[in-house]
A and B are shown apart, each in its own frame.
Chain A
Amino acid sequence: MFAHPFLQNAFLAGTFVALAAGLVGWFLVLRAQVFTADVLSHVAFTGALAALAAGLDARIGLFAVTLLVALAMGALGRRARPGDVVIGGVFAWVLGLGVFFLTLYTTVRSGTGNGSAGVTVLFGSIFGLTASRAVGTAVVALVICALLLLLARPLLFASLDENVAAARGVPVRLLGFAFLLLVGGTAAESTQVVGALLILGLLAAPAGAAHRLTTRPLRGLALSAGIAVASVWIGLTASFLVPVLPPSFAILAVASLTYLGAAVGTRLRGTRPTVVER
């Protein structure tokens, strides 16, 4: 199976993106910011298409727009935690802009014959990664992981008890911004692998399962990252063996099943750990 270079690339990029998504996702669920991640992943779609419409590399648009919107949403919210309505409002408009750029791209640059660009950005093309792009993706993902682990201790404190952390001199607001940037980076990064629409699953499902299984931070982080990486591996293998399954679907199906298993399992045994008070 690993004789195929496209599969090597897919495994390389997929593993590290999943690692980053698992770690970032654990904090997202802890901070109840999954909706924010949802928005940022859709913003990634708009950013990619804007760059394509302007004739630039999609990755420039991805990162620039996603990080900018992450900062803007942080600025709009209290202590860099944007509220439901503000997120929704910005979100709706950003999606509309994405459609605008899609139209612009398909009409203005129809000569390049790339009408499927929108669908590719939305649903990813992990089997279409080149070797250099796979390595680049893996490196960026590793940087995100390293930054998150550096921030992990104060961020955990700030997430669990914002007020006490602020009183202790932890820069809560700054951490909120930094975390939003990391989420934006992860969303932009993973768009190339599982697609803008589906990254949410890789962020939410493994982390949700981990939170159900344990409340201990270190164990939870490891579990979340482990489930994410395993989902990518199993999903890619399944997609390779059963060609009709799109890889993004297979990956997310595994992640969702894990979440369902964790939810049902903990409920049946009645050993669900109490949720950490935010």
Chain B
Amino acid sequence: MTGTFSWNLLADLREMWSLPFMLNAFRAGTIVAVPAALVGWFMVLRRQSFAGHTLAMVGFPGAAAAVWLGIGATVGYLAFGVLAALLFALLPAGRGGGDESSAVGTVQALALASGMLFVALYKGFLNGTSALLFGSFLGITSRQVVLLGVVAAVALTVLALVGRPLLFASVDGDVARAHGVPVRSLGGVFLVLLGVTAAEVGQITGALLVFALLVLPPATVQVLTTRPARGLAASVLLAVVTVWVALFAAYYSPYPLGFWLTTIAFGGFVLAYAGRAVVDRIGRLAVAP
């Protein structure tokens, strides 16, 4: 995409939004950024980045299978995301460490390999493979936007319902269990939420780049604040701003959305990290006479 960029941002927005596919891209991007930021915040807190990334990757075989069988890609993304999440929920809990991560890694590699098999079965699909992996925000239809909105609303409702106990269980699982919080089932519910969110984001960013929106805004925010309510709000704000700026940049430059999305989000992360380090050092200097 290359339009002519002017520094009058409102005029730019009006120009972009006069194109239906850009309007849909902005709608869909905003819709998926909200659950991504909220669920991602919990994911970073629970240190489940690897599971999150794997659930995102599972979208690739899901979409490839759906295309091969001739059903909508959205269904494929969601079905595989939820299935993989349930599979992870069944993994023996609590042991953690290398054992669990080798299971997650195996699932991820097998999922990708199956995606490749589906692509091979559905011949002449080479360009489609790139689209599934790296996303394309140009072909989002209004129907897809509605579907994304509905799924996001359901996911957000569930998250709102389990939010408080989930926070408790994530911060201190043992104490939460002692207080009668069903830590294990909450973990399962959260994984399904993560799977659904990854499936949502994957349709815009592609399976490979979901992770940028899931991990970077919450990670940035958690460098700056540890307070949950503030962190969740800031995370959503940051994710939405990132998506908007990235869509802007992708529209006015020859480079793909995924590149801008990850670069902008990573830039924010590095800035926050550096800022935090500087502030800490100044604070230490001020304390030490």
Contact = CB atoms under 8 A, between A and B. Distances in A.
B144 interface: no
A95 B108 contact: no
Nearest to B40: A88
B98 interface: yes
B225 interface: no
A212 B99 CA distance: 8
Interface of B: 44, 47, 49-50, 53, 57, 95-99, 101-110, 112-114, 116-117, 120-121, 126-127, 129-130, 133-134, 208-209, 211-212, 215-216, 219, 222, 254-256, 258-263, 265-266, 269
A33 to B, nearest CB: 8
A89 interface: yes
Contacts of B263: 93, 96-97, 100
Contacts of A107: 254
Contacts of B117: 245-246, 249
Contacts of B44: 84-85, 88
B170 to A, nearest CB: 13
A201 B129 CA distance: 20
Contacts of A42: 208
Contacts of B95: 275
A52 B114 CA distance: 27
A252 B110 CA distance: 6
Given A92-B266, A98-B208, 13 more contacts: A38-B105, A91-B211, A93-B265, A103-B256, A198-B112, A205-B106, A205-B109, A208-B106, A212-B99, A245-B117, A253-B110, A255-B109, A259-B106
Contacts of A99: 134, 208-209, 256, 258-259, 262
A256 interface: yes
Contacts of B126: 115-116, 119
B212 A32 contact: no
Contacts of B49: 35, 84-85, 87-88
B262 A97 contact: yes
**Chain A CB within 10 Å, residue with most, of B53, B103, B110, B260:** B110
A180 interface: no
A248 B259 CA distance: 27
Interface residues of A, number: 62
Contacts of A249: 113-114, 116-117, 120
Given A96-B259, A103-B254, A103-B259, A35 B101 contact: yes
A207 B129 CA distance: 30
A252 B259 CA distance: 29
A34 interface: yes
A253 B222 CA distance: 38
A28 interface: yes
Interface of B is mostly: helix
B104 A85 contact: no
A259 B99 CA distance: 11
A263 B53 contact: no
A204 B101 contact: yes
A122 B101 CA distance: 21
A50 interface: no
Nearest to B211: A92
Given A34-B101, A34-B104, A85-B219, A204 B208 contact: no
A30 interface: yes
A33 B105 CA distance: 11
A61 interface: no
Interface string A69-108: 0000000000000001101111111011111101100010
B212 A95 contact: yes
A102 B104 CA distance: 28
Contacts of A212: 99
A205 B104 CA distance: 9
B163 to A, nearest CB: 21
Contact of B113 (A32, A98, A252): A252
A43 to B, nearest CB: 13
Contact of B98 (A29, A89, A199, A252): A29
A118 interface: yes
Nearest to A76: B273
Nearest to A42: B208
Highest count of chain B CB atoms <10 Å: which of A38, A95, A249, A259: A95
Contacts of B222: 85
A32 B97 contact: yes
A204 B104 CA distance: 9
A87 B102 CA distance: 17
